[in-house]
Amino acid sequence: MKLVKESISFERYRDPKKALGLKYIKPKYPLGSFSGLEKVAEDFMAFDIMDAKKDPEMDSVYMLLIRFTDNGEYGLCIYDQSRDYLIEEPAPLDDYNIDSDFKLNKLGFEVPEDLKFNKMDESSFERYRDPKSALGLDIYTLPIFDNTEQLVDYIIKLLPYIFDKIPKNIACEPRHGSYIIKPEYYNKINDFLNKCYDTNGQKVTEDYIEKKYEMWTDIFKFKLRDLGYNGAECLTND
């Protein structure tokens, strides 16, 4: 077996970034700074929080700039600490189409010293574009899904943008009957969907949803129930 000699410039057990001459940047926030995040994060690859931006319309929602501890790669996630829920799960910046200083700056983050992008022409990126669109989260473009459950999961992710504060009793149980979506909340969700177009440019309507994704409200209300949005009995005459 041929032995490969280690370079004397590569210190054993040394942090890889330091060994490569990259400055180590200390995380800005411990996971415990955000209620419930330590527990939620156990299901994902370990990461540090390098910076955080609060959603201007929702006090409990934060966009987090993260660095994965295993490989030092940067990423993003969106966390709602009122629900202990990751609206967008931790993923590398590439998954969010963030590939330049300019794009990261547009989200309100400074570029860390240990993060280097391949430079690109900023003029190719639409200026003053909404940060959610910059993240590939164009909330008024409805993807075409393979099945109804995918649609329901997508709508649940959008609830923080549909409601200023998600009502705890969206899905509720009348005195007689099974779980329902309260009419005022169902109407607000439908009003939102009616502003959308699918990726083929077709206008989304209530009829469009019902035909393409049969029985979506049944799956939706039980998923909401399982997530805890059944906080009060729905008093109806039904």
Is residue 125 located within the same domain as residue 149? no
Contact (Cβ atoms closer than 8 angstroms) between residue 177 and residue 221: no
Residue 7 lies in a domain: no
Residue 233 lies in a domain: no
Residue 235 lies in a domain: no
Total domains, the chain: 2
Is residue 29 located within the same domain as residue 114? yes
Is residue 221 located within the same domain as residue 204? yes
Is residue 145 located within the same domain as residue 59? no
Residue 238 lies in a domain: no
Residue 168 lies in a domain: yes
Is residue 31 located within the same domain as residue 115? yes
Per the structure, the complete domain to which residue 166 belongs is given by: 141-226
Going by pLDDT thresholds of 50, 70 and 90, the confidence category of residue 66 is very high
Return the exposure string of 105-123: e unless at least 16 CB atoms fall within 10 Å of the residue's CB, then b: ebbebebbebbeeeeeeee
Is residue 168 located within the same domain as residue 214? yes
Contacts of 94 (CB under 8 A, 6+ apart): none
Q: Do the strands 85-92 and 171-172 form a parallel or antiparallel pair, or are they unpaired?
A: unpaired
Per-residue model confidence as pLDDT tens digits over 213-236: 988 988 888 888 788 776 544 444
Residue 7 pLDDT > 60, yes or no? no
Is residue 97 located within the same domain as residue 192? no
Question: Average pLDDT, stretch 32-47?
Answer: 93
Of 18-32, 56-70, 87-101, 185-199, the one with minimum mean pLDDT is 18-32
Residue 160 lies in a domain: yes
Is residue 114 located within the same domain as residue 191? no
* Per-residue pLDDT, 4: 42
Question: Average pLDDT, stretch 94-118?
Answer: 83
Secondary structure of the chain: what % helix, strand, coil (to 5)?
30, 20, 50
Is residue 181 located within the same domain as residue 220? yes
